């Protein structure tokens, strides 16, 4: 396994990370624990979750899986998207973040998280309040590094400027949708991260499965796929994205690999990308994903992927999560 620094921090993270959104939903407790153990055995140390995944079940299951193996993991979680309706149920106020961090620590069965991330920008809380709270968390030892998620470039730069001016700990990373089907971060966010020394953690690296080639125009969603378990996902299955999926599959076939491995390998080679988080519902999927870490890509293959995905550099992001 290859390891990268998270931005310009000293924290080393595996090039392939484990996303756990499916834990407690499409993967039950036993399967999820097996996946975590298999990931650690293969050298994957970055495990990403959030306080809202499967209604907190993802964090609880990870806590069980890491018993006796906590030191092997770089554990990342998030807060900020709605946990419950009503006052204090979402956002990045001091009140909400302090409460949610304690809840995450209990579920994860640990006294610290390696990376604590703000799940989305909160327009209703002053950034100074959020950043001071995160600085206090790091000073307390309950958090080691901090990151953002779903921030626009200007929001992220504003946060970095405030942290610089107030001598607060700075964000080390940003999570965003980034893949061959969504290259919009290359327009503003990626240059900012290169300039300011932040690591990018892409989510939806396979565009929800579109880049695996399993979706076909007019065909039924495969059993167990995201489109089958979440009918709302079908809105992403546009003709243009399905055509991209076919193009990636054709390129993968020409070089003797899978479209999954090809898509992940491309993303790992992009500037500022520190770790690529990919979910799994069984250990077999994890093994397939690991092929990406060993896949060489020559100039011709990279050029074909560039041309096939170029239309997805402009337009709307594949996904972004914001507070209403």
Residue 235's pLDDT band (boundaries 50, 70, 90)? confident
Contacts of 311 (CB under 8 A, 6+ apart): 240
Per-residue pLDDT tens over the stretch 116-130 = 999 999 999 999 999
Residue 158's pLDDT is 98
How many Å apart are CA 83 and CA 95, to the nearest integer?
Answer: 13
Residue 224's pLDDT is 55
Query: Is a pLDDT exceeding 80 seen at residue 220?
Result: no
Stretch 50-73: mean pLDDT, rounded? 98
C-beta separation of 146 from 119 below 8 A? no
C-beta separation of 44 from 280 below 8 A? no
Residue 313's pLDDT is 96
Contacts of 101 (CB under 8 A, 6+ apart): 79, 113, 116, 137, 142, 143
Residue 229's pLDDT is 57
Helix (H, G, I), strand (E, B) or coil at 224: coil
Considering the chain, what percentage of its residues have pLDDT values greater than 90?
A: 91
Sign of CA dihedral 223, 226, 232, 233: negative
C-beta separation of 93 from 129 below 8 A? yes
C-beta separation of 310 from 304 below 8 A? no
How many Å apart are CA 162 and CA 113, to the nearest integer?
Answer: 23
Residue 159's pLDDT is 98
Residue 2's pLDDT band (boundaries 50, 70, 90)? very high
C-beta separation of 150 from 184 below 8 A? no
Helix (H, G, I), strand (E, B) or coil at 149: strand
| Mean of the per-residue pLDDT values of the chain | 95
Residue 297's pLDDT band (boundaries 50, 70, 90)? very high
Helix (H, G, I), strand (E, B) or coil at 199: strand
pTM for this one?
Answer: 0.94
Higher pLDDT, 312 or 227: 312
Stretch 27-42: mean pLDDT, rounded? 98
Q: Per the structure block, which two tokens stand in for 160?
A: 């970095």
C-beta separation of 147 from 193 below 8 A? no
Nearest residue to 276 via CA among 18, 12, 11, 3: 18
Per-residue pLDDT tens over the stretch 142-172 = 999 999 999 999 999 999 999 999 999 999 9
**Are β-strands 3-5 and 12-14 bridged in parallel, bridged antiparallel, or unpaired?**
antiparallel
Residue 236's pLDDT is 83
Residue 223's pLDDT is 59
Nearest residue to 182 via CA among 280, 289, 310: 310
Least confident of 38-42, 43-47, 219-223, 292-296: 219-223
Per-residue pLDDT tens over the stretch 192-211 = 999 999 999 999 999 999 99
Residue boundaries of the structural domains of the chain: 3-210+261-296
Q: Which CATH number fits domain 3-210+261-296: 3.20.20.100, 3.90.1150.10, 3.40.190.10, 3.40.50.300?
A: 3.20.20.100
Q: Per the structure block, which two tokens stand in for 72?
A: 């092997």
Residues facing residue 243 across a β-bridge: none
Residue 234's pLDDT band (boundaries 50, 70, 90)? confident
Residue 217's pLDDT is 55
Query: Is a pLDDT exceeding 80 seen at residue 221?
Result: no
Q: Does the active-site annotation cover 53?
A: yes
∠ CA 221-27-120, rounded to 5°: 85
Residue 214's pLDDT is 81
Residue 22's pLDDT is 96
Sign of CA dihedral 214, 216, 219, 220: positive
Query: Is a pLDDT exceeding 60 seen at residue 227?
Result: no
**What is each CA distance from 260 to 135, 211, 293, in whole angstroms?**
38, 7, 11
Residue 324's pLDDT is 79
Give the active site residue among 3, 53, 151, 171: 53
Nearest residue to 13 via CA among 259, 236, 273: 273
Interhelix angle 299-309/259-268, rounded to 10 degrees, is 90
């Amino acid at each position: 396994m290859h390891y990268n620094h998270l931005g310009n921090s000293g924290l080393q993270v595996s090039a392939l990370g484990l996303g756990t959104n499916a834990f407690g939903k499409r993967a039950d407790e036993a399967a999820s624990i097996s996946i975590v153990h298999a990931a650690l055995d293969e050298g994957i140390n970055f495990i990403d979750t959030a306080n809202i995944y499967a209604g907190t079940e993802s964090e609880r299951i990870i806590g069980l899986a890491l018993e006796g193996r906590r030191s092997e993991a770089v554990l990342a979680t998030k807060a900020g998207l709605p946990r419950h309706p009503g006052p204090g149920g979402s956002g990045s106020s001091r009140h909400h973040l302090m409460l949610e961090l304690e809840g995450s620590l209990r579920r994860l069965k640990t006294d610290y998280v390696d990376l604590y991330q703000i799940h989305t920008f909160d327009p209703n809380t002053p950034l100074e309040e959020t950043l001071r709270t995160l600085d206090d968390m790091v000073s307390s030892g309950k958090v080691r590094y901090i990151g953002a998620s779903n921030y626009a470039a200007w929001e992220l730069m504003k946060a970095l400027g405030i942290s610089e001016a107030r001598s607060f700990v700075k964000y080390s990373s940003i999570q965003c949708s980034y893949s061959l089907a969504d290259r919009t971060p290359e327009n503003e966010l990626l240059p900012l991260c290169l300039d300011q020394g932040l690591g990018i953690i892409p989510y939806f690296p396979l565009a929800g499965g579109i880049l695996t080639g399993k979706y076909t125009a007019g065909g039924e969603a495969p059993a167990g796929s995201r489109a089958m378990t979440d009918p709302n996902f079908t809105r992403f299955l546009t003709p243009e994205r399905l055509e991209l999926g076919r193009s990636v599959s054709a390129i993968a076939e020409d070089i003797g690999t899978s479209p999954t491995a090809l898509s992940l390998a491309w993303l790992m080679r992009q500037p500022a990308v520190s770790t690529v988080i990919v979910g799994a519902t069984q250990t077999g999927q994890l093994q397939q994903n690991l092929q990406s870490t060993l896949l060489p890509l020559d100039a011709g293959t990279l050029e074909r992927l560039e041309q096939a995905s170029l239309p997805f550099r402009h337009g709307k992001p594949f996904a972004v999560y914001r507070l209403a």
